[in-house]
Amino acid sequence: MGFFSKVKAGTKATMAIDAALKEWKQYHLANPQVEPYLFMVKSWEANLEKAGKMMAALSGAETLKLYGCLPSPKCIEMMAHHMCLLLIPEYSETFQAQQTSKQMRPLLELYLANDATKLNELFRQHNPRTFEVALSETGERPFEQSSMEKAREMLSEL
């Protein structure tokens, strides 16, 4: 990929990330009771459906749990970054994308270490009502060690 392709991809991504942050700010002002995780799931599904990425759109609730462990608006920024990786192919090769991805490393390390306790603490801290609803409706917390281990096994087989 050439220099100008990377610049163009980085510019598109910056605009998309800024738009997501602006959308969250406006939505949150109008709906202060809505937690970031629920907004992210709606935004993820709508944007990826619009782009024709139906399988990715359907994975939103699961994919975004990890971002739900971050404070707002950082979680929105990281979700938008992830969408840019899916929707702007050249973006993954930009310095911006690599630097932004590094910001997720601490959470990814917790996930890879199967530290469901710490991840659930973080998720509950930033999305308390969503956490309680999930627990009451399914009897499970967002992060369960057994399902995390299964997901890791599946990924290692790919």
Which pLDDT band, with edges at 50, 70 and 90, does 60 fall under? very high
Peptide linkage before 73 cis (omega within 30 of 0): yes
CA distance 142 to 90: 32
User: What digits encode the pLDDT tens for the residues 70-94?
Assistant: 999 999 999 999 999 999 989 999 9
User: What digits encode the pLDDT tens for the residues 3-45?
Assistant: 778 889 999 999 999 999 999 999 999 999 999 999 999 999 9
Give yes or no for residue 120 having a pLDDT over 80. Answer: yes
Which pLDDT score, from 0 to 100, does residue 46 have?
A: 97
